[in-house]
Amino acid sequence: MKKIILLLAILIPFAVNAENVASLEGLEEPVWKDFAPVAYIDVKEPKGLAKFNDVLAYWYKRRVEFDNGIEKCRAIEKNEEKISCYQDLKVKQYQKNSDYNARIEAMERARMNPQVMQDPTTNMYPVGGLINNFSKFQPNEFN
């Protein structure tokens, strides 16, 4: 009888601990380096001339929003809700990355393939007539 009680006393804490471990399984906190380019992992607030760097300012703003999201998720008590919060944060960051990449690709395509200019004969003034009129008023002209 003592052996059974001793065995139960040893096994019950492990069983309770196993449930807690199972509930914490999906509880991996997102990390900023998984979403940011290598150059912007340790991004700091732009100061001085760096304030005019739009890319640096964009990644700093994203970093601040990410850190605020992590703090909100950490404040949640229930593990299921915390896991859901982390998943939502990951989805939002992946969506922002795909939007950012699409914008960069569009700018690159526009830079590589400039728009074709319109036919100059359709929107220009009749230059020949103006040149002929202009030549009548040239100084040093012998009559």
Domain residue spans of the chain:
22-111
pTM of the model: 0.60
Question: Of 56, 5, 4, 67, which Cα lies nearest the Cα of 33?
Answer: 67
In order along its 143 residues, the chain shows pLDDT tens digits of: 555 554 455 656 655 444 444 445 657 899 999 999 999 999 999 888 888 889 999 999 999 999 999 999 999 999 999 999 999 999 999 999 999 999 999 989 888 876 665 655 555 555 555 555 555 555 555 55
Give me the DSSP letters along 53-102. -HHHHHHHHHHHHHHHHHHHHHT--SHHHHHHHHHHHHHHHHHHHHHHHH
